[in-house]
Amino acid sequence: MSEGNIKIVVIGGGPGGYVAALRAARHGASVTLVEADLIGGTCLNRGCIPTKALLASAEALSRARAGQEYGFEVAGEIKPDFGRMMARKEGIVTRLRENVEALLKKAGVTVLRGRGSLAGPGKVAVEAADGSITTVETDKVILATGSEPFRLPTFDFAHPNILTSTEALALDEIPESLLIVGAGVIGCEFASFYSELGVKITMVEMLAQMLPLEDMRVAKQFQSTYRKRGINVMLKTKVESVSEYADDHVTVKLSDGSEISASKILVSVGRKPNSAGMGLDTVGVDVDPRGYVVVNDYLETTAPNVYAIGDLNGGILLAHVASYEAMIAVDNALAVDPAGRRARDLRSTPSCTYSHPEVASVGLSEDQAAEAGFTPVTGTYRFAALGKTMAMGEETGYVTIIADKETDAVLGASMMGAHVTDIIHEIAVAVQNGLTVRQLGDTIHAHPSVAEALMEAAHDVHGECVHIAKP
Ligand code: FAD
């Protein structure tokens, strides 16, 4: 290893930046982490963690309401205590953030509070809240400034009833109704949470399916579970304009000519990179037309010694990808691997939606496999036939494995139901390592377990499932 006393400045302290700082420190570099706001970034403070904390409250509420089904009586009305849910969420976020701060301190990372920008080759300027500027000399820079919600110009985000995901995580009281613009992962997770609290939800999506990055078959089944929960989903529909901003509601005009009013509107239509004002042109870092920093497979930007990871490079906007890219960028910056530079490989990135039901996929869908020239074969197993999910009272859902007929290689999987965001990783390992369906099916799976559905689906690929149950 040649890292010696190499100096690295990481700009941005989200799951990309703080993991990069910790890994670089582990490899002996002298590390400075610059953060303009809260350590932990979007993921820890305004994204992955707070949403999951709230969804856990919603799940507990739902189970308590189903008490009789599980064999117990609850005295009195079961109703959400919104303030306590929010306080629980804040407690979890604060605890996690403090843990990360402690890790950085222990690793000897210098944390500078302020807005970082490139100030020419080997120089990073940090502007503190009081306007003072510190310039840090460095050998390498890792840009990890992430992204922020994309604000559709149709809406006035200064109005208190127009929300991005950030405000939707910090409401003071439960709204009566919520119009969610965009039925991607984030919109669906909020719909799941607020619907459980009794909020009347309408979702408007301009594309032809919910969860547009998932396989159409899963999206359709997912949509039918939302319909059963009373969530109104309008596909191929756009919000054309806002007709009225009132204190207690907003009214919008839709592309089908109808009007709809809701107490609040959550706009979740994607993200925008935090690349403006970063001094990128001082060293020649290129951005694409949407503002994402251009990188190659080694996460190098177009400027020497400058890397960009996570949401900022616009690859796959997920926390686990940001952290994975952090490892690749640090290893390349410090020449950790004697065999040479590491290239990122995102083939086995799990994609998860933590709603009720959960949705998860990895690798290729059946259609993508066919497009890529494989002869796809599939195997499916339904949760309605699985001992563990029956015992849990979670019979909605299934897993489908996609494989190549010629080689028997596992190409991917898509699934919906309880704990699929946990069991997806078995297929990620299979895809990443070229395992076959036979190897998966011959692996003993614990009984009863949710993961057993994967073994059964593997048997089904070969027509050997003895507990046949197709959707
Ligand atoms: P970020 O987490 O955005 O961190 C960037 C950091 O840089 C921020 O702290 C910011 O303050 C700081 N910064 C910006 N500019 C500067 C500057 N000039 N100087 C210094 N600091 C700066 N992903 C998942 O994988 N799973 C999930 O369940 C999930 N749920 C989500 C739910 C919601 C509601 C949202 C909004 C996102 C969710 N995501 C989820 C996406 C995930 O949060 C992001 O992909 C991830 O946070 C990206 O990490 P990052 O390090 O690239 O950037």
- DSSP states along 219-240: HHHHHHHHHHTT-EEE-S--EE
3-state SS, residue 329 = helix
pLDDT at site 466: 86
The catalytic residue among 447, 459, 462, 467 is: 447
Ligand 1 atom at minimum distance from 48 CA: 30
Return the number of other C-beta atoms located less than 10 Å from residue 459's C-beta: 22
Cis upstream peptide for 304 (omega within 30°)? no
- Residue closest to 187 by CA, chosen among 165, 217, 172: 165
Q: What share of the chain is helix, strand, coil (3-state, %, to 5)?
A: 35, 25, 45
- Residue closest to 430 by CA, chosen among 370, 364, 368: 364
CB 211 within 8 A of CB 226: no
d(CA 11, CA 63): 43
- Which of 42, 127, 211, 353 should be mutated for ligand 1, with most atoms under 8 A from CB? 42
CB 400 within 8 A of CB 380: yes
Ligand 1 atom at minimum distance from 34 CA: 20
Question: Please, what is the Cα angle at 174 between 171 and 179, to 5 degrees?
Answer: 85
Whether 467 is catalytic is no
Distance 15 CA to ligand 1 centre (A): 7
pLDDT at site 468: 67
Distance 416 CA to ligand 1 centre (A): 26
d(CA 288, CA 380): 40
Query: What phi-psi label fits residue 426: left (phi over 0), alpha (psi between -120 and 50 degrees) or beta?
Result: alpha
Measured CA to CA in angstroms, residue 175 lies from 17, 249, 285, 452, 466 at distances of 35, 10, 44, 40, 49
Chain-centroid distance of CA 200 in Å reads 25
Question: Please, what is the Cα angle at 460 between 466 and 412, to 5 degrees?
Answer: 150
d(CA 308, CA 301): 6
Q: What is the CA radius of gyration of the chain?
A: 24
Sheet holding 133-137, edge to edge: 115-118, 123-127, 133-137
pLDDT at site 5: 85
The CA dihedral of 464, 467, 468, 471, to the nearest 10 degrees, is -130
Cis upstream peptide for 350 (omega within 30°)? no
Strand ranges, E, within 235-358 = 239-245, 250-254, 259-262, 264-267, 271-273, 306-308, 351-353
The answer for residues whose C-beta is within 8 angstroms of residue 238's C-beta and 6 or more apart is 204, 206, 254, 255
- Residue closest to 393 by CA, chosen among 421, 419, 366: 419
pLDDT at site 1: 42
Residue-level pLDDT, tens digit, the chain, 471 residues: 444 589 999 999 999 999 999 999 999 999 999 999 999 999 999 999 999 999 999 999 999 999 999 999 988 899 999 999 999 999 999 999 999 999 999 999 999 999 999 999 999 999 999 999 999 999 999 999 999 999 999 999 999 999 999 999 999 999 999 999 999 999 999 999 999 999 999 999 999 999 999 999 999 999 999 999 999 999 999 999 999 999 999 999 999 999 999 999 999 999 999 999 999 999 999 999 999 999 999 999 999 999 999 999 999 999 999 999 999 999 999 999 999 999 999 999 999 999 999 999 999 999 999 999 999 999 999 999 999 999 999 999 999 999 999 999 999 999 999 999 999 999 999 999 999 999 999 999 999 999 999 999 999 999 999 886 544
d(CA 117, CA 279): 5
- DSSP states along 98-127: HHHHHHHHHTTPEEEESEEEE-STTEEEEE
Residue written as token pair 């997920």:
318
In this structure, which residue's CA is closest to atom 3 in ligand 1?
146
CB 11 within 8 A of CB 17: yes
d(CA 332, CA 327): 9
Chain-centroid distance of CA 121 in Å reads 33
In this structure, which residue's CA is closest to atom 47 in ligand 1?
43
Supply the angle between the helices 48-65 and 185-196 in degrees, to the nearest 10: 40
CB 226 within 8 A of CB 357: no
Pocket around ligand 1 at a 6 A CB cut-off? 11-17, 34-37, 41-43, 46-48, 51, 115-117, 144-147, 165, 186, 274, 278, 310-312, 317-320, 322, 354
Dig out the tokens for 149 from the structure: 């919600």
Return the number of other C-beta atoms located less than 10 Å from residue 163's C-beta: 24
The full set of domains in the chain, from first to last, is: 3-149+273-333 (3.50.50.60), 162-269 (3.50.50.60), 351-461 (3.30.390.30)
Ligand 1 atom at minimum distance from 38 CA: 9
Ligand 1 atom at minimum distance from 146 CA: 53
Mark 212-238 as b/e (b = at least 16 C-beta within 10 Å). Answer: eebbebbbebbbebbeebebebbeebb
pLDDT at site 269: 97
